[in-house]
Structure 1
Amino acid sequence: MALMPLTGYVQERKWVARAEKADSNYIETFDPYLTGRYYFSQKYTSIILEGNRKIADLRYRPNTTLNMGVGATYRSLTINLAYGFPFLNRDKDKGTTKWLDLQSHVYTRNWSIDVFGQFYKGYFLFPKGLGNNDTRSFYVRPDLGISLFGLAVYNLRNGDRFSYRAAMLQSEWQKKSAGTWLVGGEIYAGSISADSAIVPSLLSVSYSQRDIRRIRFVELGPGAGYAYTLVAARHFFLTGAATFNANIGLSREFSEKGTSDKISISPNFIYRGVMGYNSRVWNMNISVVGNSISVRGASSRQDYQFNTGNYRLTLVKRFLPGPKLKRKIKWLDPK
């Protein structure tokens, strides 16, 4: 499957260990049940070139699609498939973004592991009129693209009472409020590239990154955070989680004059928010997951920022699989 010819396609696989010593006063698990979901989602990976105190940031955004999808969870495996159908997406004045966004998530009782692989090409500059002479149109860069790879691993210090799966996978039910500290680390590598300077020529005099046409980076470091689910009347819930990471990074900028390297320490963070209704059969929720990665180059004191995110509206129903389906998925059952 080629990467760039696809436009607005999403595939996710999430692996989840079966329940390990969950406190039944706080968490109810649904291991024998099949969790089916129908959802709408929109993903993005945007690029920000920070300006100084008197100059606005340059915000490049992709023209990603609103996707409609289906998925299912059974014990240790979750698969979601979604596509940006044309009847849901008619916005043409922002150019075309070709993108492939792959994610894999592991949720055990005491660990969360997020793996990212994102490939985007084609951006527009927000707001309208910035970067060109026409205030009624967006400055479009079909040549601008990014590649981003990441791994984030965190230990849940109170995983027997706090469930990520209840909020993110809907395969459990958080019946009482609980929270947990998160301790771990992250590693990222990526690049921004274009056929010419990333800064528009009309704005080049205002930005010290004016000559840069490509950036590559790698960074890693420890992180910590907290996650909490507030439960009201047993069924309504609000989950929030954030981890902050202090990475040491190496970046390389490319221009017509050559290359320049920079070693720096950058703060990064991942956040998740979910609110909705949960019961033994039904779940409905709205969620947002975001990640901000800062990269410091040698050409400026201001950062390049990679902002990734996913907004989702999900409807879930849980049911026991029938005999035929049960035989096909029995290899997922514990021995």
Structure 2
Amino acid sequence: MIDVSSVVNSSENVDRSCNVSDTLTCIRHKKTFFRRIGKSFIRLFQEFNNIDTNYIEPQRYNYTVMLQSTNTYEMYRLSEKDGNSITFAPEVSYKLGPYVGWRWIFLGYTIDLKHISMNSEKSNRKEFGLSLYSSLVGVDLFWRETGNNYRICSLDLEKNINTDAIKDVDFEGLNSSIKGVNLYYIFNHRRFSYPAAYSQSTVQRHSAGSWLAGIGYTNQKLSMDWNKLDKLTRERLNLSSLEIGLDSSRLFGKIEYTDISFSCGYSYNWVFAPHWLFNASLSAALAYKHTLSDTNHGRFTLRDFNLKNINVDGIGRFGLVYNNMKWYAGASAILHSYNYTKKQFSTNNFFGYLNFYIGFNFGKR
């Protein structure tokens, strides 16, 4: 006789074994999937500092202390379509302060030596800058509020009026702020080291260069009091508003625009002597600038796109370093150029940092 219950039980056993098998297979797939993701992240982090030690020597110390002087420069040029233009620049700031570092973490504080005794109304300049460098990618973060402590560098009028009397005169009618981030990829990151030139965390042993590609986002705000400028020019030049020729109705009072850019450039580390390095880096960026007042709605949409809003910006970096791994000293400069052109007017903004530093490393790894 055939035991029906045994047949049923055996079939149930088969089904159960199939379910267990499917579950184990699913678990194996999940483990394999997450293991692959984990390995991908590990490879990515390893690639951040994957270098050819014949060209780049990694840091042999854990800690560093440094004294740095930072000089900040800025310039704004405003032009109208008839050729009249005026150029402003704030006073150069000189900052000095100590820095302490542990591996890739670097913190410091600087004091503006030129404006220590300046009252609160004049010392309204605020700025923040952070640069992170690895062998693979680099990031620049910046935020600046210059305040209203500008001076007039030049005034060019189409009527060829002599404007020497207004040069280097203080002007409190201009306020500006800028904030943004730049992210760039270093193609030849195994043999070329940005950190060797700008963060002293590695040493470049042989000359090498690399192409760069990046993206950036910037937000700029600019406000101008044309009544103050008109009054100042009339007093200094002893002319009427009609004789001066500046037409504030064709310019602006306040402007805010966002800037999205794609950049490409080249950087080269030249090892011209033992322990010495000179770096030059230049990048040009195609930037799309969207003025918030261009449209009646708050968000940017494809219908707002206009090829006339595309301008060319630039980024430059230069560095000179002596680094014997124990002691280091040098200078570096980071320069930004932004251009904005509309039918009625155009603006050109330039700002940069010049750093001088000396430091030493300690605490061997």
TM over 0.5: yes
Partner of 1:185: 215
One of 310, 318, 329 as aligned partner of 1:273 = 318
2-structure distance, mates of 1:252, 1:298: 16
> Which ranges of structure 2 fall in alignment gaps of 5 or more residues?
1-44, 234-240, 295-303
Q: Which structure 2 residues correspond to residues 22-101 of structure 1 after superposition, within 5 A?
A: 22-30=51-59, 32-50=61-79, 57-86=85-114, 96=122, 98-101=124-127
Distance 1:129 1:291, change over 3 A: closer
CA contact (8 A) 1:209 1:299 kept: no
**1:66 counterpart SS class:** strand
Larger Rg belongs to: 2
Distance 1:233 1:121, change over 3 A: same
Distance 1:315 1:128, change over 3 A: farther
Q: Cα deviation per residue 1:158-215 (whole Å; 9 max; x = unaligned)?
A: 1111111111111211111111100121111111013445864538615677642211
Amino acid at match of 2:66: R
1:221 is displaced (CA, Å) by 2.5
> Which ranges of structure 1 fall in alignment gaps of 5 or more residues?
1-16, 255-260, 322-332
1:223 is displaced (CA, Å) by 1.1
1:40 is displaced (CA, Å) by 1.3
CA contact (8 A) 2:184 2:213 kept: yes
CA contact (8 A) 1:208 1:299 kept: no
CA contact (8 A) 1:251 1:295 kept: no
Structure number having the greater strand percentage: 1
Partner of 2:183: 153
Identity %: 20
2-structure distance, mates of 1:228, 1:89: 38
1:127 is displaced (CA, Å) by 4.6
Partner of 1:111: 137
1:293 is displaced (CA, Å) by 0.9
1-structure distance, mates of 2:76, 2:98: 29
Distance 1:181 1:211, change over 3 A: closer
Q: Cα deviation per residue 1:48-90 (whole Å; 9 max; x = unaligned)?
A: 11467965x422111142111111232121113111125x889
1-structure distance, mates of 2:79, 2:66: 39
Structure number having the greater helix percentage: 2
Amino acid at match of 2:349: F
Q: Cα deviation per residue 1:245-273 (whole Å; 9 max; x = unaligned)?
A: 0011122579xxxxxx9851110111000
Q: Cα deviation per residue 1:273-307 (whole Å; 9 max; x = unaligned)?
A: 0113221211111211100011123413xx31121
CA contact (8 A) 2:81 2:343 kept: no
Amino acid at match of 1:316: G
Q: Which structure 2 residues correspond to residues 1-335 of structure 1 after superposition, within 5 A?
A: 20-30=49-59, 32-50=61-79, 57-86=85-114, 96=122, 98-122=124-148, 123-127=150-154, 135=165, 138-196=168-226, 200=230, 202=233, 205-206=245-246, 211-251=251-291, 264-300=309-345, 303-320=346-363
CA contact (8 A) 1:96 1:142 kept: no
Q: Cα deviation per residue 1:288-328 (whole Å; 9 max; x = unaligned)?
A: 1100011123413xx3112110011111211118xxxxxxx
Aligned residues: CA RMSD: 3.4
Q: Give the TM-score of the pair, scaled to structure 1.
A: 0.77
Q: Give the TM-score of the pair, scaled to structure 2.
A: 0.71
**1:320 counterpart SS class:** strand
Q: Cα deviation per residue 1:206-230 (whole Å; 9 max; x = unaligned)?
A: 5677642211111213111011110
CA contact (8 A) 2:334 2:353 kept: yes
2-structure distance, mates of 1:85, 1:205: 40
Q: Cα deviation per residue 1:231-251 (whole Å; 9 max; x = unaligned)?
A: 022222110111110011122
2-structure distance, mates of 1:143, 1:208: 13
Distance 1:190 1:277, change over 3 A: same
1-structure distance, mates of 2:227, 2:204: 50
Distance 1:105 1:194, change over 3 A: same
2-structure distance, mates of 1:158, 1:208: 50
CA contact (8 A) 1:190 1:218 kept: yes
**1:135 counterpart SS class:** helix
2-structure distance, mates of 1:198, 1:150: 30
Amino acid at match of 1:153: L
> Number of residue pairs matched?
294
